[in-house]
């Protein structure tokens, strides 16, 4: 694609789509631990400068609240819109004046107050909400019972955070910080826990938090240079210095050099410990160079030409994950083929442990029927946290978008369902033997067979019963015959007496 066509294409797109589309705003509450141990772990108040740097990077539509906590939490700066000089100066004064003399460390107080403040604050429906807990210690309320009670309160409150979409991010400053518990808090709400044991790590942790929350659009920095195109409205440069005495210089496309003392071109140059933040409104088209610093360099921008990236769930290790990359102009898909011609899209990534991912495998129909939309698949070898970066570039413009993604463990192998249990019932009848197969009878009982003695007892008892019954019947008949014979003899005697014949003595029965 010939570079000369791009300004023409952008002018046409601007006429079609109107003004710029603003990114979704962010409401952030920064909760800074001011317990007494911070005097020892942060003697130079680098945490305060990290807070100032974080606030300096927020967009003009984002809102920031600042609170301190130790044994109790207190809101020092309520949710305030904008990141202008007045707000930054007020935040700086409050943070610097916060005494590091707290006797206890109670995360539950900070979380409870932050939740209440975010819930009652009126905000647009698409506002993203987050809480940042910065601490150098552990949950400490004086005794184990109080610690257990506070921990139970925190664990009971975390589902409420997740239900309303409030993410908690934690920065564990110093080796003494309870990263395990802070990580548990962050994970339960979809946030992240970071460790910052060195001074430089504090600033990088807050930069990482800014990139996690705002997911800013950026331009890749190559050899200290960035290429600015006509669609860029504002350029924000973040440059790390090896020491606070190191001097940073900025060179515009015409070759003119600037430093932190220059106010030309509307430059805003701010020092934050080991980092300089330089804002250039309406930068000139061409290559800008950063001189005098060998540390980390980043270039964020506001632009009408945007790049988006979406990771489609489920995101599990060992299986392809579909990723969509979209190029848009003022919120509308880019359809001008002259703008898309020669466009290169790539997605790279690495795990938190530094493990690099295989290059993105684009689908055969990488450019679908939707203009400016590309689909690809990425495979994650293991579970864990990954950082992805999408890059779109051609000879004229470059856009970069980063995001974090948590990869779940691989799905367990499918286990076949258990066989249906057999219904209990009567055993099937044995097959009937045929006539040609003799069926042997039961074996004869032996003398020692216990079943024989049992049978003998039964037979003997039956014989005794028969004898008794038979004897009783015979005796009954005998007595009945005797009684009958005597009755007849008495009757005969009475008759003989009546006729003068002596009675005959009865003899024995024949």
Decide which of 78 and 350 is more confident. Answer: 78
In a domain? residue 174:
yes
Q: Where does a domain end: 362, 386, 407?
A: 407
Assigned domain for 190 exists: yes
pLDDT per residue as tens digits for the range 337-381:
777 888 899 998 888 666 677 777 677 666 666 778 888 888 888
- Could you please report the per-residue DSSP string of 199-225? HHHHHHHHHHHHHHHH--EE---BTTE
Residue 476: pLDDT over 60: no
494, 502, 504 from 507: Cα distances, Å: 17, 15, 9
Residue 115 above 90 pLDDT?
A: yes
- Does residue 293 lie in a domain region? yes
239 & 221 share domain? yes
- Does 346 share its domain with 203? no
> 132 with 202, same domain?
yes
Q: What is the pLDDT of residue 14?
A: 40
Question: What integer is the mean pLDDT of 87-114?
Answer: 90
Tokens (6 digits) for 338: 């002259």
Q: Is residue 210 located within the same domain as residue 224? A: no
At residue 358's C-alpha, the angle toward residues 354 and 362, to 5°, is 140
Decide if 51 is inside a domain: yes
Instruction: Give the whole-number percent of the chain exceeding pLDDT 70.
Output: 74
66, part of any domain: yes
Structural domain contains residue 283: yes
Q: Are residues 178 and 221 in the same domain?
A: no
171 and 262 share one domain: no
For range 200-214, the mean pLDDT = 86
**Residue 501's pLDDT band (cuts 50, 70, 90):** very low
Domain match, 154 and 295 both: no
| pLDDT tens, residue by residue, 374-406 | 888 888 888 888 889 999 999 889 999 998 888
CA 218 to chain centre: 28
Tell me the pLDDT band of 481, cut-offs 50, 70 and 90. low
Q: Are residues 273 and 317 in the same domain?
A: no
What per-residue confidence (pLDDT) applies to 6? 42
Is residue 507, in this structure, part of any structural domain at all? no
Query: Domains in the chain: how many in total?
Result: 3
Domain at 225, CATH number: 2.60.40
Q: Specify whether 363 is located in the same domain as 323.
A: yes
Handedness of CA 403, 408, 413, 415 (dihedral sign): negative
Task: Give me the mean pLDDT over the 216-231 stretch.
Answer: 95
- Residues 71, 156 within the same domain: yes
- Identify the pLDDT of residue 445: 47
Last residue of a domain, one of 368, 388, 407: 407
Identify whether residues 344 and 400 lie together within a single domain.
Answer: yes
Domain assignment of residue 458, yes or no: no
Of 346, 377, 407, the one marking the end of a domain is: 407
104 and 31 in a single domain? The answer is yes
Q: What is the C-alpha separation between 414 and 381, in angstroms, rounded?
A: 19
**Neighbour count for residue 451 (Cβ, 10 Å):** 9
Range of the domain at 295: 216-303
């Amino acid at each position: 694609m010939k570079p000369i066509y791009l300004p023409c294409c952008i002018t046409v797109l601007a006429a079609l789509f109107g003004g710029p589309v603003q990114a979704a705003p962010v409401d952030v509450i920064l909760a800074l631990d001011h317990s007494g141990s911070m005097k020892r772990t942060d003697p130079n108040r680098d945490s305060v400068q990290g807070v100032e740097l974080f606030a300096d990077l927020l967009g003009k539509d984002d809102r920031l609240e600042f609170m301190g906590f130790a044994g109790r939490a207190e809101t020092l700066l309520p949710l305030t819109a904008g990141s202008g000089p007045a707000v930054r100066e007020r935040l700086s004064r409050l943070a610097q004046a916060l005494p590091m003399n707290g006797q206890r460390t109670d995360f539950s107080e900070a979380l409870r107050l932050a939740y209440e403040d975010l819930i009652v604050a009126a905000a647009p429906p698409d506002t993203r909400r987050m809480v940042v807990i910065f601490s150098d210690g552990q949950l400490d309320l004086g005794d184990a019972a109080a610690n257990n009670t506070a921990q139970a309160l925190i664990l009971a409150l975390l589902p409420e955070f997740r239900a309303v979409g409030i993410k908690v991010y934690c920065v564990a400053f110093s080796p003494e910080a309870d990263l395990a518990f802070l990580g548990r808090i962050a994970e339960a709400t979809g946030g992240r826990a970071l460790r910052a044991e060195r001074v430089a790590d504090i600033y990088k942790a807050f930069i990482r938090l800014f990139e996690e929350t705002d997911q800013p659009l950026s331009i890749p920095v190559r050899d200290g240079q960035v290429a600015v195109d006509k669609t860029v409205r504002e350029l924000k440069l973040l440059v790390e210095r090896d020491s606070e005495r190191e001097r940073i210089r900025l060179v515009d496309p015409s070759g003119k050099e600037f430093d932190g003392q220059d106010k030309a071109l509307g430059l805003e140059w701010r020092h934050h410990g080991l980092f300089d933040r330089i804002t250039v409104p309406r930068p000139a088209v061409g290559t800008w160079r950063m001189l005098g610093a060998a540390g980390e360099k980043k270039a964020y921008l506001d632009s009408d030409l945007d790049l988006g990236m979406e990771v489609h769930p489920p995101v599990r290790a060992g299986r392809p994950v579909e990723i969509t990359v979209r190029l848009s102009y003022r919120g509308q898909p880019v359809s001008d083929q002259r703008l898309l011609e020669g466009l290169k899209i790539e997605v790279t990534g690495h795990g938190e442990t530094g493990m690099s991912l295989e290059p993105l495998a684009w689908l055969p129909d990488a450019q679908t029927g939707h203009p400016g939309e590309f689909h690809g698949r990425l495979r994650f070898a293991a579970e864990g946290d990954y950082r992805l970066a999408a890059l779109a570039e051609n000879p004229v413009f470059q856009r970069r978008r980063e995001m974090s993604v948590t990869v779940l463990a691989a799905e367990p192998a499918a286990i076949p369902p258990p066989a249906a249990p057999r219904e209990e019932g009567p055993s099937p009848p044995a097959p009937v033997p045929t006539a040609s197969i003799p069926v042997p009878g039961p074996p004869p009982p032996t003398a020692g067979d216990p079943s024989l003695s049992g049978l003998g007892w039964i037979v003997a008892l039956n014989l005794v019963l028969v004898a008794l019954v038979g004897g009783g019947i015979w005796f009954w008949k005998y007595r009945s015959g005797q009684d009958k014979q005597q009755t007849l003899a008495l009757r005969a005697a009475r008759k003989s007496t009546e006729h003068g014949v002596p009675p005959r003595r009865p003899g024995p029965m024949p």
